[in-house]
Structure 1
Amino acid sequence: MARQKVTNWSSRVDPLIRRYRGLVPLIAQEDATLAVDAVGRMIVAVEKAKSVPSSAATAVAEDAILEAGRLLEAVRERRQAPEA
């Protein structure tokens, strides 16, 4: 049963990680620290969820991944916005 939960969780999370990873090259050099931090958060979240396959760990991991993705998207939007 735990294996099935990990597989289901992976099928939901893997597309998010691919999307957010794709944003990293679009972020300028000076924002690289934020991008690296966001991707690092995703990696830690996934590792924690896999090491303790529970619904609480999964929820925390999903929240961390979504938060990191929002950070990447915000940085990308800020970089693409015309400067006033």
Structure 2
Amino acid sequence: MKKLICCLAAVILLSGCTGVLERQQPVCTGTAMIGGQENTVQIYGVRKQNNQTQYRAGYPFNWNWMSANTFTSTTCK
């Protein structure tokens, strides 16, 4: 009985978070030199901060804001 209550509580808690992790579509792509190799990186956001363009880069940058200088080229406008 205790297991059933714990399972129900977990399902209720998880169902409350269903809209939080939405799948985002990339807005553009960039090329970055990683380990001496060119890699295509999907970019999910663009912002200007302190007169510097930054890109929210997916794998392998773990969706962190990276400086535009990190990329050799991008398709962002």
TM more than 0.5: no
TM-score (norm 2): 0.30
The structure with the larger Rg is 2
**Larger strand share, 1 or 2:** 2
Larger RCO of the pair (alpha carbons < 8 Å, separation 6+): 1
TM-score (norm 1): 0.28
**Larger helix share, 1 or 2:** 1
